[in-house]
Structure 1
Amino acid sequence: MTRPSLNDLAAFSAVARHSSFRKASDALGVSRSSLSHAIIGLEARLGVRLLNRTTRSVSPTQAGADLLERLDPVLRDLDDALDSLSEVRGRPSGILRINANKSGARILLREVVPRFLANCPDVELDLVSEGQLVDIVKQGFDAGVRLLEAIPQDMVAVRFGGEARFIAVAAPGYLRENGRPRTPQDLQAHVCIRQRLPSGKRYRWEFARRGTEVALDVPGALTLDDNDLLAEAAAAGHGIAYVPEHFARPFLDSGQLCTILEDWCPAIDGLALYYPRNRHMPSSLRAFIDTLRAVAPGA
């Protein structure tokens, strides 16, 4: 049997971890066709099928799962060994992959990324912004960014950006025509713009005041899956939206939106960057965290 190349083994690991040729090709920066050819060649050299492929999904066979279980620690050790050379040279290098929600990505791009890239010119930062929570270890990320309350307890969290707040907002014209709700229960008689979560479920609006908590599946004919679009739709008069204050702020400042139920919308713990507790920290991630603590408020 011909010994497979390291690149082919890394390609197999990426496809298996992402359960997708498209996502793996994006992560590796190669075309899907070249990645597919690499896997076909690897299976031919090993004489065993490693992946089950359908038109909708990719999953490891039992042989593939066994190989992946033993291969991933080897690839991590190799990455750690190569990263140690960066520490010897005193300059971080390589690819730093961070998965973030849109709010977190915006703050990082505005306040942290410019200085980090200026200080670490040998690092390629891959900042992936998507709405759904992912397993950052399984998906091959070095770190993630989410609300502190959504971060798994076995992760190390570095807070930044201060507290967060979800607020209910509506256009002045909508409130003139339909009145202003005084309690969360009043929303049942209003037109609300609902939000679809990445899981497919609709988001239940959560309010709290003086120890009383209320969660509502509000009524409404329009459902969106993006906070920017929710704020824009509310500003256009389509109903009441419930969004992180950051997304509504431009419309509030311009007078296109008004806040409602303010005393039912308390601040919560804000964003945090998180990473695995028991894994070697790449020098690039250490440098990014140092920059985050130096630049971002609350870090």
Structure 2
Amino acid sequence: MQLDNLSHLAVFAAVARLGSFRKAAAELSLSASAASYAVRTLEDRLGVGLFNRTTRSVSLTEAGRHLLERLQPALGSVSSALEEMNLFRASPSGTLRINTFRDAALVVVAPLVERFLRMYPDIQLDIVSDDGLVDIVGMGFDVGIRYEESVPEDMVAVPVGPEQRFVVIGSPAYIARRGEPKHPDDLMRHDCIRYRFRSGAFYKWELAKDGVQLQLDVPGRLSVGDSELILRAALDGVALGFLPEHKVRALVAEGKLVCVLEDWCPPMAGMMMYYPRQRQMTSALRAFIDLARAA
């Protein structure tokens, strides 16, 4: 295979994965016009269209989907072969792409960034904060960070970060207006802020005490998909929220929020860093996991 064919196939795979010529170009350090030219040249050589293009979206044609399915194993083998060359280097190199939700980015990833980049000057970090659940393989990430219950079963998961505790919080004005819940059953008569996943499912509040574990589909007129919106609404007295304790600790100390049902909010396992079981671990990922576990 000619080298330019291989580079054009790599551009095609990146556009297919990201659904955007602009994003693929940025990832590959190309101009958008160069990425578009590479795909057009590939289409001309193959004699078929690989993408349906509109001003707002890019999607694979049937031929494009077939090519991508056949191409991914081969590109994976090429990537693995290149990664193995790191065995001959003095230190790891390459780009490490991390997908994490916002709280984990602040609690787990941010404290490691300066030290990691200083220790490994040949590694580039690409960190994407996303509170929704994503397919890290399909989106081209090396590793994801989520709570244990959100980690797909076919992934290798490694505990990272400190122990966590979720707490039920409300503003003093809300508590004065609606009263303080004394038992989890009382939440069913309160307004609660519901967290909605991208899938459309609602997160069930997890409470536990003396061996009794509850998962409550709490009622509420406000549903959001962002923890910052939960915090804002709770501060404004809209309803009760359920958030990580580290996120609200200072506001509780200042009297802006009140914790309720504290005896039903035990500590829980921390966050999990996860990666595909079938994929060879890159030297950059191994270095990051080692640093995170030692922190």
Same fold per TM (> 0.5)? yes
CA distance in 1, matches of 2:191, 2:29: 45
**Alpha-carbon contact 1:94-1:124 (below 8 Å) kept:** yes
CA distance in 2, matches of 1:122, 1:199: 37
CA distance in 2, matches of 1:108, 1:186: 34
CA distance in 2, matches of 1:195, 1:148: 17
CA distance in 2, matches of 1:242, 1:216: 12
Trace 1:177-188 onto structure 2 (pairs within 5 A). Answer: 177-188=177-188
| Residue of structure 1 equivalent to 2:236 | 236
TM superposition shift of 1:201: 4.1
TM superposition shift of 1:129: 1.0
**Alpha-carbon contact 2:108-2:161 (below 8 Å) kept:** no
**Alpha-carbon contact 1:102-1:130 (below 8 Å) kept:** yes
**Alpha-carbon contact 2:168-2:240 (below 8 Å) kept:** yes
| Residue of structure 2 equivalent to 1:193 | 193
TM superposition shift of 1:166: 2.2
**Alpha-carbon contact 2:132-2:225 (below 8 Å) kept:** no
Report the 3-state secondary structure (helix = DSSP H, G, I; strand = E; otherwise coil) of the residue aligned with 1:127.
strand
| Residue of structure 1 equivalent to 2:128 | 128
| Residue of structure 2 equivalent to 1:253 | 253
| Residue of structure 2 equivalent to 1:274 | 274
List per-residue Cα deviations over 1:146-174 (Å, max 9, x = no partner): 11222122221110113322221011232
- CA pair 37-162 structure 1, distance change in 2 beyond 3 A: same
- CA pair 185-21 structure 1, distance change in 2 beyond 3 A: farther
TM superposition shift of 1:182: 1.4
| Residue of structure 1 equivalent to 2:71 | 71
- CA pair 56-186 structure 1, distance change in 2 beyond 3 A: farther
Trace 1:1-299 onto structure 2 (pairs within 5 A). Answer: 4-21=4-21, 23-54=23-54, 57-209=57-209, 210-220=211-221, 222-295=222-295
List per-residue Cα deviations over 1:230-265 (Å, max 9, x = no partner): 113212322211122232223123221111122232
**Alpha-carbon contact 1:10-1:75 (below 8 Å) kept:** yes
What is the percentage of aligned positions where both structures have the same residue?
47
CA distance in 2, matches of 1:202, 1:251: 26
TM-score relative to the length of structure 1: 0.87
Report the 3-state secondary structure (helix = DSSP H, G, I; strand = E; otherwise coil) of the residue aligned with 2:144.
strand
Structure 1, unmatched stretches of 5+, are none
- CA pair 56-200 structure 1, distance change in 2 beyond 3 A: farther
Amino acid at match of 1:215: L
Shifted more, 45-54 versus 206-215: the winner is 206-215
CA distance in 1, matches of 2:28, 2:257: 43
List per-residue Cα deviations over 1:249-294 (Å, max 9, x = no partner): 2312322111112223233322111112222111111111121122
CA distance in 1, matches of 2:11, 2:65: 14
**Alpha-carbon contact 2:165-2:244 (below 8 Å) kept:** yes
Report the 3-state secondary structure (helix = DSSP H, G, I; strand = E; otherwise coil) of the residue aligned with 1:6.
helix
Amino acid at match of 1:219: G
CA distance in 2, matches of 1:143, 1:262: 33
Amino acid at match of 1:80: S
- CA pair 10-229 structure 1, distance change in 2 beyond 3 A: same
CA distance in 1, matches of 2:2, 2:51: 19
Amino acid at match of 2:117: L
CA distance in 2, matches of 1:70, 1:214: 43
- CA pair 30-167 structure 1, distance change in 2 beyond 3 A: farther
Shifted more, 85-94 versus 198-207: the winner is 198-207
**Alpha-carbon contact 1:159-1:270 (below 8 Å) kept:** yes
Amino acid at match of 2:129: S
TM superposition shift of 1:125: 0.5
TM-score relative to the length of structure 2: 0.88
Q: CA RMSD in A?
A: 2.5
